Amino acid sequence: MALLSIPLVLALGCQRAEEGGEQMEAESSMMETSSLSLMALNESGVTGTADLSHTEETMTVNLELSGLTPGETYAAHIHRGSCETQGPVAASLGSVTAAEDGTGTIEASVSMSELGAMEGHGEGMMEEGHGEGMMEEGQGEGMMEEGQGEGMMEEGMEQGMKEGMSAQHMGFYIQAHLPDGTPAACADIKVPETS
């Protein structure tokens, strides 16, 4: 069974209307859409597109793939992380069976709560004593004098992102896998912030 995964950075806000009819109209007008192209990996020849639409509560994913092995079944998942850093499965989208021409499509909806949106991405970073003792015994004295600390946080965050240290908490990606599990195609998704 082959595997698909999806990334997206989700920073969502939504305004609720007070009346039932107004609420439906407000939700449909606040639906955000985006599209991405899956690029082949490992000389697989698998490519495709993923069209996303989302509200505060739901994301709908429409995958169209080509270059698949006819008759093979590919699992579709949304994963945390990015194509570069990889990550665990966040939600299942179902499966795609390739047609005789090597194409396959699937449309599925996932609740934003299942994806975890952006809630809690910083939680636990300093739990379990990870920060204990860092500033004990005068270790931090004079560190911020004379501008020595300027830019340290920004540089550290930039370096961490380059190294993929927090990428697992920063987004989602789509990735198709060949039946043997080899990555076949991937694309990172960034969903625009709603107002």
What is the mean pLDDT for each group of 10 consecutive residues in the chain (195 residues)? 42 36 52 84 86 88 92 83 81 87 94 65 35 41 46 42 38 73 74 46
Task: Write out the DSSP string of the chain.
Answer: -EEE----B-----PPPSSHHHHHHHHHHT-EEEEEEEEE-TT---EEEEEEEE-SSEEEEEEEEESPPTT-EEEEEEEES-TTT---EEEEEEEEE--TTS-EEEEEEEEHHHHTTTTTTTTTTTTTTTTTTTTGGGTTTTTTGGGTTTTHHHHHHHHHHHTTSSGGGT-EEEEEE-TTS-EEEEEEEBPPPP-
pLDDT in the model for residue 99: 97
Report pLDDT for 44.
82
The full set of domains in the chain, from first to last, is 1-10+31-118+164-195 (2.60.40.200)
What is the pLDDT at residue 70? 94
Q: What is the pTM of this model?
A: 0.57
